[in-house]
Chain A
Amino acid sequence: MADIKVAAYICKGCGLGERLDTDALVKIAQKDGKVPMAKSHDFLCSADGVAMIRNDIDNEGVTHIMIGACSRRAKTEAFYFPSNAVARANLREGVIWIRPDTEEARETTQEMAEDYIRMGCAEVKAMTAPGGNPNTGSSKTLLVVGGGVTGMTTAIEASKTGYPVVLVEKTGELGGMAGKLYKRIPVHEPFKSPADTGVADLIAQVMGDSNIKVYLNATVAKTDGAPGRFVVDIATESGATHTEDIGAIVQASGFTLYDMNKLPELGGGQSPNVVDQLGLESLARAAAAGDGVIRRPSDNQPVKSVVFVQCAGQRDPTGTHLAYCSGTCCNTSIKQAMYFKDANPSVDTTIIYTDLRTPGNGEDFYRSAQEKGVIFTKGKVAQVVPNGAGSTVKFHDLILDDTEAAMADVDLVVLATGQVPNSGVDIFAAPKESEEGAVEVKPISILNLNYRQGPDVPQLKQGFTDSHFICFPYETRRTGIYTAGPVRRPMDIAQAREDATGAALKAIQALENAELGRAAHPRSGDLSFPKVRLEGCTQCKRCTVECPFGAIDEDEKRFPVFNESRCRRCGTCMGACPVRVISFENYSVNTVGAQVKAVDIPDEFSEKPRILILACENDAYPALDMAGMNRNEYSAFVRVIPIRCLGSVNTIWVTDALNAGYDGVMMMGCKHGDEYQCHFVKGSELGRVRMSKIDDTLKTLNLESERVRDLEVAITDIERVPEMINKYAAELVAVGPSPFKGF
């Protein structure tokens, strides 16, 4: 640590000067923080205050800055010193705003502020200014996998923005699923009739764009590298392989209809006159090419009556078929019923549904179908019995509660089976035991990623690609690889086109950030990246297995190989590493460990317990800040340290804290599991798994299990978090002071 010069600045604005003894804080920084150059300022974020800091950087050679003022989430533009290491002591939201302004509270409030100054000084000394990832690539080309509506829209949107595109399509023609439709659900006023699909126009745009290179009959044979420097092998039908340099990838591999042959009770596969929705589209296309009359496949007679069976093999609670609603089939059946009614109003069309779901402007479309005479029957179809050319549809009428309801002599039955994503290999699936004699059908990989964790992007339990549903819908768990369209969740053409546009722009951001050595979301723009001391590594593989983003590969000797551009900077690897050789320049085992140790622990007779809070910076820490803004008070005995993710928590911090005499440790992280809210997807889950083993540590220290508390906190818990803190502080009084104080 050659020639670092630290300076500490303490702000007196926003009431800090009145509520706290700032002169004492300056002395604490000098004496305990060992920062001789400590100053206070009446209004630190003002032009004058910032100029003072800037002057010290330029003329006094200050390299490390500790700012004792507001939360690190506030005034980020004013306190922006990119070439310096900066630590922030949260005296405003973290101290004076959460403490009552009373004489008796003054002492503990001051102690709180003093500890945060000590922590800030200790932290900043353990940091260096992040320099940015040097291992970058500068390819600006976007790879789009899939030539359907989503893929073509992505290509067109990216090209319009000025980025070259390589589009890979498995089949011999563009258009995908939408290309097989006769017409589409309307997206413009007055939403009354099926509309042209617009696919021909999209194909013309793609083929006419010199910025878009199209490979037909082609698949992705291998994807290597990282954002900004992917190297992708494209295999074509002729056997030739083309290699492309790619900056970012959008996977738009779409969906397949759920196989109706799995529904023999509904007549699937039992009669040519029972078709799925795609089957009806081809009948309608054949009719449009001929005399406009949709004919029964078995004997080519005009269809006089048709029944649409909604939720066929969907929303199935038994687990046999799809558990979810595909969200598009109701509108599709309405559209298809109109194919009949628009051509010949005397054709009987009945849609049997349990809950008609018509998103978007589908409600107008639904009403239009009713006006055209489509009959909607609320019921659950039990059985379709093909009987010669006709079929009998037996159903439970849910309004009349008639379990014996039936429609006989139906010419054509259309099953609304749902969307099944084409998401490739489920890389985390448990290997299945193959049954004797059964033909094993292995899913084919879409991307063939040359990643340690597997060839495709991770999936949710229903097979759709995993992404943070609320905050980052297109981002997969592979940085620089985005999914859009029905591979991500069931959707129709309109939604897929929106998705495509979003994903294109996100992919462009990713490749631009990658070139500059910066992180993609959620720590967008972060220049820090994981550094590893390989000489200390024991090749335990925890980091390579646990990384939620598959950023770490392994070399032949099983040492981790970090692909910094794939990294999201969550620090899960750092938390996982048992020998603690992984760190970030401004976030490491040391930066947090130094803060833990910097806190002044009063002896057991003072009746001043100390509680360490490790709070996730995405949800828990903002919730604590907002609690301050709302003046929701909490105990003065807590000391909060923001962490990047619960996954980055190394157990050594907890052990150190308990050894140092803290009475308790609270860990605040996001919800995990199927409905996770963790910004790093698996971080909070992995962190919790790790922490579940903390009981052993407590036992060896001979401490009570209450000393460590794992809490699920959401960003909205502005009132709940202070309550949780106060409750825990009261509980710890009952447990008694830690026996480790004063050692």
Chain B
Amino acid sequence: MSANTAVAEKYRNNFLKEIEEQVEMGDWVKMCMQCGVCSGSCPTNFQSAWEHPPQELFMMIRAGKREEVLTSSSMWNCTSCYNCIVRCPRKLPITHIMHGIAEYAHRLGMAPKLQPTRFFSGLFWKNATKTGRVNELKLSMGLYFKDGLGAGIKEGMKMKDVALGLMKAKRLNPFEIIKGHACKDQKGIQAMLKKAYEIERSRKAAKVAG
């Protein structure tokens, strides 16, 4: 039984309750009064960029549309500008709820796989935790080749002049591609992260178990 079917079984039709218990700040969802100020304030929500703006996501949660909410790409578009939090007349921490829902969908394996924000977040995390330092060259190249070799080369050529300028200014070292720099105590970092993973895993497992 996957993580998804396990919780789905547990909460049956009560998706709001599931969100309240499983999502960070999820207990705020019920307080939305559907004024729509968040959707109108969102700088990334122009030209219907969001399939479901926050207010709509909250309504979908109350209406029990579990599948549609958790597989949505909407909450991944949030750039954490905090405009919605500042403006919400009900003081809902909307930014945090968006991240909370995104994280929960990711945890259940329901988040859209190639959504750029999600993809980049994963890439960044792997990149940074491997050596303890961010390898910018590998990070940006990883993002360029997200959609395959052809698309990657095309995207790389577009940025060619910027890259050359950075190299001239000694801000980009092409040899980083081979190994790259690392922090002094790589093993210590790995051990620390491993422990953190363990703590989180047990906490979340306990939450799912109720």
Contact surface of A with B, Cβ cutoff 8 Å: 356, 366-367, 370-371, 373, 375-378, 397, 399-400, 402, 405
The answer to whether B33 and A377 touch across the interface, beta carbons within 8 angstroms, is no
Contact of B60 among A356, A366, A367, A400 (CB under 8 A): A400
Question: Given the interface contacts A399-B55, A399-B56, does A367 sit within 8 Å of B90 by beta carbon?
Answer: yes
The answer to whether A405 and B90 touch across the interface, beta carbons within 8 angstroms, is no
Range, interface on chain B: 10 to 19
The answer to whether A400 and B90 touch across the interface, beta carbons within 8 angstroms, is no
Complex Cα spacing A375 to B33, Å: 10
Q: Which residue of A lies closest to B31 (CB)?
A: A370
Q: Is B62 an interface residue (CB 8 A)?
A: yes
The answer to whether A377 and B60 touch across the interface, beta carbons within 8 angstroms, is no
A-B contact count (CB 8 A): 34
Complex Cα spacing A377 to B33, Å: 9
The answer to whether B31 and A400 touch across the interface, beta carbons within 8 angstroms, is no
A-B contact pairs, 5 of them (CB 8 A): A366-B33, A367-B90, A371-B31, A376-B62, A400-B59
Q: Which residues of A contact B56 (CB under 8 A)?
A: 399-400
Contact of A399 among B31, B34, B90 (CB under 8 A): B34
Q: Is B98 an interface residue (CB 8 A)?
A: no
The winner among A370, A373, A397 for most chain B CB atoms within 10 A is A370
Q: Which residues of B contact A376 (CB under 8 A)?
A: 33-34, 62
Contact of A400 among B16, B30, B33, B63 (CB under 8 A): B63
Q: Which residues of B contact A373 (CB under 8 A)?
A: 30
Q: Which residues of B contact A367 (CB under 8 A)?
A: 31, 90
Q: Which residues of B contact A399 (CB under 8 A)?
A: 34, 55-56, 59
Given A370-B31, A375-B16, 11 further pairs, Cβ under 8 A: A356-B33, A366-B33, A371-B30, A375-B62, A376-B34, A377-B62, A399-B34, A399-B59, A400-B56, A400-B63, A402-B63
The answer to whether B90 and A378 touch across the interface, beta carbons within 8 angstroms, is no
Please provide the chain B residues from 60 to 80 with a CB less than 8 Å away from any CB of chain A in the complex. 60, 62-63, 65
Please provide the chain B residues from 24 to 75 with a CB less than 8 Å away from any CB of chain A in the complex. 30-31, 33-34, 55-56, 59-60, 62-63, 65
The answer to whether A370 and B60 touch across the interface, beta carbons within 8 angstroms, is no
The answer to whether B30 and A375 touch across the interface, beta carbons within 8 angstroms, is yes
Complex Cα spacing A167 to B89, Å: 47
Q: Which residue of B lies closest to A373 (CB)?
A: B30
Q: Binding site of B, secondary structure by majority: helix, strand, loop or mixed? A: helix
Q: How far is the CB of A356 from chain B (nearest CB, A)?
A: 7
The answer to whether B59 and A397 touch across the interface, beta carbons within 8 angstroms, is yes
Complex Cα spacing A399 to B63, Å: 11
Q: Which residue of A lies closest to B56 (CB)?
A: A399
The answer to whether B63 and A405 touch across the interface, beta carbons within 8 angstroms, is yes
The winner among B16, B30, B31, B65 for most chain A CB atoms within 10 A is B30
Q: Which residues of A contact B31 (CB under 8 A)?
A: 367, 370-371
Q: How far is the CB of B27 from chain A (nearest CB, A)?
A: 9
Complex Cα spacing A493 to B80, Å: 46
Contact surface of B with A, Cβ cutoff 8 Å: 16, 30-31, 33-34, 55-56, 59-60, 62-63, 65, 90
Q: Which residue of B lies closest to A369 (CB)?
A: B30
A-B residue pairs, 6 tightest by C-beta: A399-B59, A378-B34, A370-B31, A370-B30, A375-B62, A399-B56
Complex Cα spacing A356 to B62, Å: 17
Q: Which residues of A contact B65 (CB under 8 A)?
A: 400
Q: Which residues of A contact B90 (CB under 8 A)?
A: 367
Complex Cα spacing A140 to B98, Å: 68
Q: How far is the CB of B171 from chain A (nearest CB, A)?
A: 48
Q: How far is the CB of B125 from chain A (nearest CB, A)?
A: 34
Q: How far is the CB of B101 from chain A (nearest CB, A)?
A: 16
Q: Which residues of A contact B34 (CB under 8 A)?
A: 376, 378, 399
Q: How far is the CB of A373 from chain B (nearest CB, A)?
A: 7
The answer to whether B63 and A397 touch across the interface, beta carbons within 8 angstroms, is yes
The answer to whether B62 and A378 touch across the interface, beta carbons within 8 angstroms, is no
Q: How far is the CB of B36 from chain A (nearest CB, A)?
A: 9
The answer to whether A378 and B30 touch across the interface, beta carbons within 8 angstroms, is no
The winner among A371, A376, A397 for most chain B CB atoms within 10 A is A376
Q: Which residues of A contact B59 (CB under 8 A)?
A: 377-378, 397, 399-400
Complex Cα spacing A376 to B58, Å: 11
Q: Which residues of B contact A402 (CB under 8 A)?
A: 63
The answer to whether A377 and B63 touch across the interface, beta carbons within 8 angstroms, is yes
Q: Which residues of A contact B60 (CB under 8 A)?
A: 400
Complex Cα spacing A366 to B90, Å: 11
Q: Which residues of A contact B62 (CB under 8 A)?
A: 375-377
Q: How far is the CB of A584 from chain B (nearest CB, A)?
A: 56
Complex Cα spacing A637 to B49, Å: 65
Q: Which residue of B lies closest to A405 (CB)?
A: B63
Q: Which residues of B contact A378 (CB under 8 A)?
A: 34, 59
Q: Which residues of A contact B30 (CB under 8 A)?
A: 370-371, 373, 375
Q: Which residue of A lies closest to B65 (CB)?
A: A400
Q: How far is the CB of A374 from chain B (nearest CB, A)?
A: 8
Q: How far is the CB of A368 from chain B (nearest CB, A)?
A: 11
Q: How far is the CB of A94 from chain B (nearest CB, A)?
A: 50
Q: How far is the CB of B137 from chain A (nearest CB, A)?
A: 44
Complex Cα spacing A61 to B117, Å: 98
Q: Which residues of B contact A400 (CB under 8 A)?
A: 56, 59-60, 63, 65
Q: Which residues of B contact A377 (CB under 8 A)?
A: 59, 62-63
Q: How far is the CB of A405 from chain B (nearest CB, A)?
A: 7
Complex Cα spacing A234 to B120, Å: 84
Q: How far is the CB of A372 from chain B (nearest CB, A)?
A: 9
Q: How far is the CB of A37 from chain B (nearest CB, A)?
A: 70
Complex Cα spacing A741 to B204, Å: 99
Q: Which residues of B contact A405 (CB under 8 A)?
A: 63
Q: How far is the CB of B63 from chain A (nearest CB, A)?
A: 7
Q: Which residues of A contact B63 (CB under 8 A)?
A: 377, 397, 400, 402, 405
Complex Cα spacing A319 to B55, Å: 33
Q: Which residue of B lies closest to A374 (CB)?
A: B30
Q: How far is the CB of A401 from chain B (nearest CB, A)?
A: 9
